[in-house]
Amino acid sequence: MDFRNPNVTYTTQLDMPAAMLWKLLQDFGCWIKWSPLFSKMTLQESRKTQMSDPTYIRDVETIFGHYYREELVLRDSSSFLINYRQIKAERSSPLVDRYETQFQIHVVDATHCSITWKSNIALVHNAPAGALEQVLARQKTFFKKTTSAAVTHLYIQTYSKSALNFLTEKTLEIESALLVGNAAAQYEYDEYELPLPKMCKGLPLKEALAPKKIGMMVQRVLELGYLQAAKFLLEDSEPIKGKFDYEGAARKLASTYGNDREKDLTAALLKNWDTDEEFCQQYLQGVNPLQIEVIRDSQQIPAKMRSLTIKDFGTKTKTVQDLISEKRLFLVDYKDLENFHLHNHLYFYAPIFVMYKELLEDGDTRLNVFAIQVERTPNAPIFTPQSPHKNRYRLAKMFVACADIQVHQFGLHLGISHLGNEPVAVAVNRKLPEGHALRALLLPHFKDTIGINFGARLALVTNPEQAFTNNTFAVGTAQGKQLASIYWQKFDFFGWSFPKELEARGFTRDGKDGLSGYFYRDDGFKLWDAFGNYAQNFVYRHYKTDQDVANDKDLQAFCYDLSAKEFGNYPGFPTQILTKDFLCEVLQIIIWNGSALHSYLNYPQWPYVGLIHNRHNALYKPMPAEDGNDVPDEYIDEALAPTFGALFQLTFCWLLSCLDEDETLIHLKSLKHIYPDIDNKFQLELAEITQQVSKRNERLLAEGKTPYVFLMPENVANSCNI
C-alpha cells in the first residue's frame, strides 16, 4: 500500500529518546501490556515456507468492542519503522474493507523524538455516506491514545520505578545502618568537611523512622505515580508534546489527593500565579518569607535602578529617595549565589529584585515589582513591568524565582532548619536524662529530626555527584551544600531568633515598618508569644528561684555540651544559664526553631513549588543577550523544566509537604505527666490564635486574597521531621 497519500496521519513530538519508544512499540504483539485500549491481544507466528521469515499476526479486540486481525508487514529497527495491515477475519468491522498502517519514530536529538502514524483505510463498497469520516476520526484518536499510553507507560516505568527504588533503597540503608553497628550509636557528635552544624554520628536505634512515617512518604510518591498512569485514561487530551502539563498536574494532584488546605491554595495559585502582585506577595507569605528586607539607603540597589520612578495612582511621581524615606522600597538580593558556577547545562544567576509598596485608590496597599537586575555585570539590563519585551521581563522574574529556590532549599530549609536543629537534638538526648522535666518539654520538638537528616545525608551529602538533586537543582548538590554552609556561618542562636531575624531585615512587631500583609511576621509573633508564655509557665513552675536554675546540673551540662567547640559547637549558645528569665528566653527559641521554623519553610512547598510555572528548581536556558528584540514564547517553554525535571520537582515538593496531622502543635502534650495544666493553658492560647488567624483569613478570602495558613497551630509540626 502507498503511504505517500495516506487518508489519515498523526504526528507528535515527544520528550524521550527515540530508542526508548521504539523498544516498547516494536513488540507488535505485546501492546496490550501497556495500552488500555485493548481488551484482548493474541499473537501467532507462522511461516509461509520453511525458508521464509516468520509472519506475525495479532488478533486484537478493543475496549470499544471492535475486532481486528492484523499482520506485521515490515519491521525495520534501523529506521524505527513498522507497517502492518488488516487481514480479513470473521469478526472484522463490517464497514472496513482493508487498511494498512505505518508508524515511524524519528530522532530529534538525544532526548527528543517524534512519531508519525499513517493509515490508508478503504471501506466496503456499500458503506453509508459519512462513514469514512467517522472511521478516519476514530483511527486518529487511536493513534493519539496509543502514543499517550506508550509515553505514560514509559514515564511510569522509568520515573515511578526510580522514585520507589530510591525510597526503598534509602529505607533499607537506614534499616541496615541500624542493624550493622549503629544499634550501638550513642548520640555522639560528628562533623562535615565544610562548616555546617554538627551532626549525629550514625543513627541511634531510637531515631529510626517509624513505619508510619515511611508509609506516608511512599504514599505521596505513589499518588503522583497513579495520577500519571490515570492521566491517559481519565483525560481525552493530546499526548505529552515534549512538555509537561504543569498546571494540569498540580490541579489534578491537589484535587485528587490533597486536603482542603492543599486544594484551596492550589486553586488560588492557579488563578493568579502570573501576576506581579502575586509574585511579590509570595515574599510575604510564600515558601521563603525570609528574603525580603527594607531598603534604607539607595546604595543598596544597583546604580541603574536609582533613577527609576513610579507613579502613585498613576499621577504623582515618586523617586527612589521618596520611596525610601516613606519606607516603601524593599530588596531581595541573591548575592550568596554570585560566585557559584553553572553546572550541567542548568542556568541560574544572582539577581537583585526590588519591590515597592503600591498605594491603591481604595486605601489598601500591596507590593509590586519595581525593577529586576538578573546579572551582576555593570551594564546588565534592568527589567521593569514597563519593559517593552514581555517575555524577557517574564524570564527575569523566572530567574528571580529560580535563585530563590536555591537559597530557600539549600540555605534555609536544609542548612538552618534541618541540619541546624540536629545538634540541639543530640544535646537534649545526651545531657537531659530520662525523667528530667526539660527533656519532657523539649524532646517532642526533635522527633524524627535525626532520622530524616540521616536519610537526607545519605541522599544528598555523602556523594553529591550522584545525589538526585544534582541534575535537578540549578546549583547542583555540591554547591547546594556550600550554600547551606554559607548560611550556617551567618547563624547565631540569639541573632536568628524570630524577632531578631526580622529586625535585621528591618521589620518590627509594632508594624512601624509600615508593611501590611506580611502574615509571616503577624502570625509569627502570635505563635512566638505563645511559646514564650508556655516556656515561662513551665520555668516558673519547675524552678522556684534563679538559684534552682543555676543548680540544675543537667541543664548546665546541656548548655556546656551544646556550646563547647569539641561537642555541639552551636554558634551563640550560652555556656550556662543562671536565671529563670534567661532560661525562658532560650527555651522559647529552641521550641520555635524545632517547630515553627521548619514548618513555614517546608509546608508551603505545596502549592508554591508544586506549580512549575511559579518556582523553578532550575532553568534550562540562559537569559539571552539583548538584541533589541523580545524572545519568542518557545524560548520560555524551553527554559522551563522538561518532563523528568518537572516530575522530580512535583514529586519532591509533594512528598516533603506531607504533614502528619497527628503531630502538630494542637496535639502537643509534652508535660502531661508533670504539669498537665500548663499544656492545657498552652492549648487554650493556641485555640485563640487559631480563631484570630481564621477570622483574618476569612476576611482575606472575602477580599479575593490568598489566606496565610502555615503558622496556624494545626499546620505547625512539632518537630522538623520531613
Question: What's the grid cell of residue 14?
Answer: 515527544
Query: Contact positions toward Fe ion, by CB under 5 A?
Result: 602
Query: Which one, 13 or 171, has the nearer CB to Fe ion?
Result: 171
- Between residues 562 and 601, which has the closer beta carbon with respect to Fe ion? 601
Least Å from the CB of residue 420 to Fe ion: 12
Instruction: Give the Cα separation of 85 and 717 in Å (integer).
Output: 61
Which one, 290 or 310, has the nearer CB to Fe ion? 290
CB of residue 716 to Fe ion, shortest distance in Å: 13
Least distance to Fe ion, CB of residue 601, Å: 7
Contact yes or no for 462/469 (Cβ under 8 A):
no
* Closer CB to Fe ion, 497 or 602, in the complex: 602
- Residues 6 or more apart whose Cβ sits within 8 Å of residue 147: 10, 12, 14, 115, 117, 239
Which amino acid type is present at position 694? S
Task: Give me the least distance between CB of 605 and Fe ion, in Å please.
Answer: 8
Smallest distance, Å, CB 19 to Fe ion? 38
Residue 195 CB neighbours (<10 A) = 14
**Cβ at position 598, least distance to Fe ion in Å:** 6
What's 236's DSSP letter? -
Q: Which is nearer to Fe ion, 602 or 718 (CB)?
A: 602
Cell 520538638 belongs to 445
Which is closer to Fe ion, CB of 479 or CB of 602? 602
Whole-number minimum distance, CB 413 to Fe ion, in Å?
6
Is the Cβ of residue 394 or residue 418 nearer to Fe ion in the bound state? 418
User: Closest-CB residue for Fe ion?
Assistant: 602
Q: Which CB atom, from 660 or from 685, has the smaller least distance to Fe ion? A: 660
Q: Please state, in angstroms and rounded to a whole number, the distance separating the CA atoms of residues 223 and 129.
A: 47
Cell of 445: 520538638
Axis crossing angle, helix 580-592 with helix 519-542, rounded to the nearest 10: 140
Share in percent of the chain as helix, strand, coil (round to 5): 50, 15, 35
Q: Which is nearer to Fe ion, 12 or 602 (CB)?
A: 602
Q: Are 680 and 632 in contact (CB under 8 A)?
A: no
Place of cell 515618586: 318
Alpha-carbon torsion angle 534, 537, 541, 545, nearest 10? 110
Q: Are 82 and 25 in contact (CB under 8 A)?
A: yes
| CA dist 566 → 61, 198, 554 (Å) | 72, 10, 18
Q: How many residues does the chain have?
A: 722
Residue 83 CB coordination number (10 Å):
18
Minimum gap (Å) between residue 452 Cβ and Fe ion = 7
Residue 215 CB, shortest distance to Fe ion, in Å, is 18
CB atoms within 10 A of CB 413: 23
Q: Cβ of residue 288: shortest distance to Fe ion, in angstroms? A: 13
Toward Fe ion, which CB reaches closer, 153 or 598?
598
Region of residue 202 (phi > 0: left; psi between -120 and 50: alpha; otherwise: beta): left
